[in-house]
Amino acid sequence: MPIAAIVALAAPAAAQAPTGDLALVQNHLRAVNTMTAGFTQTDRAGKMLTGTLSLKKPGRIRFQYEKGVPILIVGDGKALTFIDYSVRQVQRWPIGNSPLGVLINPDKDISRFAKVVPTGDPRVVSVEGYDPKHPEYGRITMVFARDGAAPGGLMLQGWVTLDSQGNRTTIRLAGQRFNTPIGDGTFRWNDPRRTSRTG
């Protein structure tokens, strides 16, 4: 289950202006208003799921899994909601305390909690977000490829989250499209806990 993909991550209070590759990442994130992409999710056991990612700032994101997978993850601007239709379960987390908040909040200053991680490849930029005051919130590592045609000169390739239990979830993106119109209806979902009555 992709709970680790939405594990919480808060930002410590110290702030400084990002420089170098961290500034490039910040510029990319601020230049992206919408994004769609295909994704492949791999959990620590090697189980793979695929689907479509839709992102719209501020605060909206949707992981639509492949047909037959009864799971949906939606951010509505205030909270991230994890819906499991097979057991009619809904869980919510504050979006501001999520690593995905980095992607969908254009005002978030990543220099407050992120650092560049060496990759050994000059074409790749990797940034890790982690709050040492709250290790229970886990970590996120975002991976970018340098691409002059992409917003801010970087192309988001995906990310890895690691929760406090050591559960690793990897998201790889493909077919990224930036700043194309996405309707707000994309981020609505059906609540499986509701009865069949209308209204």
Domains of the chain: residue spans and CATH:
2-175 (2.50.20.10)
Q: How confident is the model at residue 157 (pLDDT cuts 50, 70, 90)?
A: very high
The yes-or-no verdict on residue 176 having pLDDT over 50 is yes
Q: Average model confidence (pLDDT) for the chain?
A: 83
Over the Cα atoms of the chain, what is R_g?
17
pLDDT at 4 over 50: no
What's the pTM value of the predicted model, to 2 decimals?
0.82
Q: Tens of pLDDT along 158-169?
A: 999 887 788 899
Q: In what order do the strands lie in the sheet with 168-178?
A: 89-94, 79-84, 71-76, 60-65, 48-56, 34-42, 168-178, 154-162, 139-146, 124-130, 114-117
